[in-house]
Amino acid sequence: MELETDGTRAGTDGTHAGAGRPTGDGRVVVVGSANVDVVVDVPRHPHGGETVLGGELRRAPGGKGANQAVASALAGGAVTAFVGALGDDDGARLLRASLDRAGVGTDAVRTVPGASGTALITVSPGGENAIVVAPGANGRVVVDDAERRLLAEADVVLAQLEIPVGTVVAAARARRRGVLFVLNAAPSRELPDELWREIDVLVVNEHEAADLAGAGSDAAPDGLAASLLTRVSAVVVTLGGDGCLVARRGEEPVRLAGRRVDVVDTTGAGDTFCGVLAAELARGTDLVAAARVAGTAGALAVTRPGAQDAVPGRDQVLAALDASAG
């Protein structure tokens, strides 16, 4: 699939999908992690050696891969399947139920002995989060014959880095010629050359971009993107509430402004962005226009607590876009 450059946006022909109803135009396969999020609100994040008294504990479905799959299906309206692994515990039932409610295909979700992935999350009053992940079953995600057949049917393959890098490489190599491979390089880690060669669109936040570019934390997004474009043909640098930067090799970068919203919890915002970006690209939307839709979905997600629970419906995303255009 080529990255279109006509600036069109899916959904302007009146065929808006409702929440959880895929439009059928675009197939996304997400390969990644699924975690049970164990969340507590705190007055501030603790420093090393410090104890902070928090609020009530809550459990919710999460994990970067599962979050992105739910976002692709619900907010993106794409036919979406998930390749992942769950344990044989109570957490697996919570995670599978959330995927099923969103309409995500789970035929390639394996059950393995032991615990499902778990994320320990603290959320400050401003909505900022700090996360520690215990991978659990996510360390056993594989791409075998069944997964390869599924990946061969995709328009876009989307992956992250909460699963073994070798599995990510295998997923990228399993796609058909012309199918886009989008990598959300999070959490930050060094990428092998064999993975760099597979990436069509790289999605990173400023910290991840600086790590991959070998730059300081004060480096400007334009400079980070320019550095990364020596390795990949297209980069999206997300900037939190300030929007994102879309950069393509040989073109001037495009800065998209963020939407001003009341922030409740930022936990799933980046994942919502990635899932919707993949869904838009799967239906042939231009990268800049796809990022605009994804940014709107991500902004809506931070107005509610949780990750998958905060993903907006497709109707909500398109209504917000139409309102801003008016």
- Amino acid (one-letter) located at 323: A
Q: Quick one: pLDDT band at residue 326, thresholds 50, 70, 90?
A: low
Mean pLDDT across 97-116? 96
Average pLDDT of the segment spanning 158-166: 97
Positions marked catalytic: 271
Band the pLDDT of 144: cuts 50, 70, 90.
Answer: very high
pLDDT of residue 129: 84
Is pLDDT at 248 greater than 70 in this prediction? Answer: yes
Q: How confident is the model at residue 16 (pLDDT cuts 50, 70, 90)?
A: very low
Give alpha helix (H) positions in the chain. Answer: 64-74, 90-102, 145-151, 165-174, 193-196, 206-213, 221-228, 269-282, 287-301, 314-325
Average pLDDT rounded to a whole number, residues 94-119: 96
Range 240-253 average pLDDT: 95
pLDDT of residue 23: 45
> What contacts 12, CB < 8 A, 6 or more positions away?
none
Q: Report the alpha-carbon angle 110-111-112, nearest 5.
A: 115
Find out whether 180 and 207 touch, Cβ atoms under 8 Å: no
For residues 1-23, give the mean pLDDT: 35
- The pLDDT, as a whole number, for residue 324 is 84
Handedness of CA 65, 232, 277, 29 (dihedral sign): negative
Mean pLDDT, residues 130-146 taken together: 94
The per-residue pLDDT for 127 is 80
The closest alpha carbon to 162, from 73, 306, 35, belongs to 35
Task: Select from 9, 140, 142, 80 the least CA-distant residue to 308.
Answer: 80
Helix or strand holding residue 28 (H, E): strand 27-31
DSSP string covering 246-292: EEETTS--EEEPPP----S--TTHHHHHHHHHHHHHHTT--HHHHHH
Q: What is the mean pLDDT of residues 140-147?
A: 94
> Which has the closest alpha carbon to 255: 242, 273, 274?
242
205-230 mean pLDDT:
93
Give the rounded distance of the alpha carbon of 220 from its chain centre.
23
Q: What is the mean pLDDT of residues 209-224?
A: 91
- Evaluate whether 169 touches 194 at the Cβ level (below 8 Å): yes
Lowest mean pLDDT among 8-22, 153-167, 219-233, 285-299: 8-22
With a threshold of 0.85, does the pTM exceed it?
yes
CB 139 within 8 A of CB 35: no
Phi first, then psi, for residue 236 (nearest 5°) are: -120, 120
Residue whose C-alpha is closest to residue 65's, from 310, 308, 313: 308
The mean per-residue pLDDT over the stretch 35-51 comes to 93
3-state DSSP of 100-147:
HHHCCECCCEEECCCCCEEEEEEECCCCCEEEEEECHHHHHCCCCHHH
Alpha helices per DSSP H over 152-192: 165-174
